[in-house]
Amino acid sequence: METQYFLYICDLVNYNNQKVKKGLKLIGALALASVLFYSCNKADKPGNTTDGTTESAVTGDLKIAYVYTDSVINKYDYFVKRSGEITEKGKKFEGDLQGRARGFEQEVANFQQTGGNMTPNQQRAKQEELVKKEQNLMTYRDNLMQELSVDESALYAEVYDRVQKYMKTYAETNKIEVIYSYTRGGALWYASDALDITPTIIEGLNKDYAAAPTTPSDTTKTK
């Protein structure tokens, strides 16, 4: 019986586990490296914002501030909730895939033990069957990974829009014309702590989220 093809199949479970776990690294900072610009009425002088919560700088007629992007995203309750749901979905996918892989591995082992009692034609037919099942398993794994990737991309896009919308409103209310995104390795190398509005933005985002009615987009449908 030809067994050379099956020498690597017994490692399939570990291989699948490694592929799936890569897809579970969903929690992390959203890549908002671009600078967010917002137009509004120009301030006449430096000082506190209209609500007295923070100080911004005035350069000529330009009033600016900045936020630590990683902190804004990772401490945004909506992002924490949704990313947690996607992670749980990934864990369910992983368990399902492991079960299927173990079943396939057992079928291969059984064939290796009993294949010697088969005729050459039966052996070839069984080998073709196992090859097809392996291909189907790989396709299933890829589809799960693609679904998680789509969920992750959709969440990033939605969070970006939510944060951008909130900061636009905040900038207009507080007469700030430029809000920079402060990220390690980004374009902004230094800014005074007095211009940091990160805590205020996080607090405002979470208050708005807590006050908003639940919508279908607030939950992730798992399979």
pLDDT tens by residue, 50-63? 444 445 555 556 89
Asked if pLDDT for residue 46 goes beyond 90, the answer is no
User: Does residue 223 lie within any of the structural domains?
Assistant: no
- Examine residue 130 and state whether it is found in any structural domain, yes or no: yes
Instruction: Please give the order of strands across the beta sheet that includes 36-37.
Output: 36-37, 178-182, 62-68, 55-59, 47-48
What pLDDT is stored for residue 215 in this prediction?
58
Phi, psi of 55 (to 5 degrees): -115, 140
Residue 188 lies in a domain: yes
> Residue 62: what pLDDT?
83
The answer to whether position 90 is within a domain reads yes
Residue 120 lies in a domain: yes
Mean pLDDT for the chain?
A: 77
pLDDT of residue 51: 47
Question: Is the whole model's pTM more than 0.75, yes or no?
Answer: no
| Most confident range, picked from 10-19, 20-29, 50-59, 73-82 | 73-82
pLDDT number for residue 11: 43
**Count, residues in the chain:** 223
Domain count, the chain: 1
Q: Which residue has the tokens 């492991």?
A: 98
pLDDT band at 184 (very low <50, low <70, confident <90, very high): confident
Q: In the prediction, which pLDDT does 218 show? A: 53
The per-residue DSSP string of 31-44 comes to ---SPEE---PPPS
The CB-side HSE value for 120 (13 A sphere, CA atoms) comes to 0
Q: Mean pLDDT throughout 175-189?
A: 90
77, exposed or middle or buried, with CB in 10 Å at 0-12, 13-18, 19+?
middle
Q: Which amino acid is at 142?
A: D
Cα separation, 58 vs 45, whole angstroms: 7
pLDDT in tens, 127-144: 999 999 999 999 999 999
Could you tell me where the DSSP H helices lie in the chain? 12-23, 69-74, 77-114, 120-173, 198-211
- Largest pairwise CA distance in the chain: 92
Is pLDDT larger for residue 124 or for residue 36? 124
Residues 6+ apart with CB under 8 A from 218: 78, 81, 82
- CB atoms under 10 Å from CB of 209, counted, come to 16
Res 30: pLDDT: 33
pLDDT at 9 exceeding the cut of 50: no
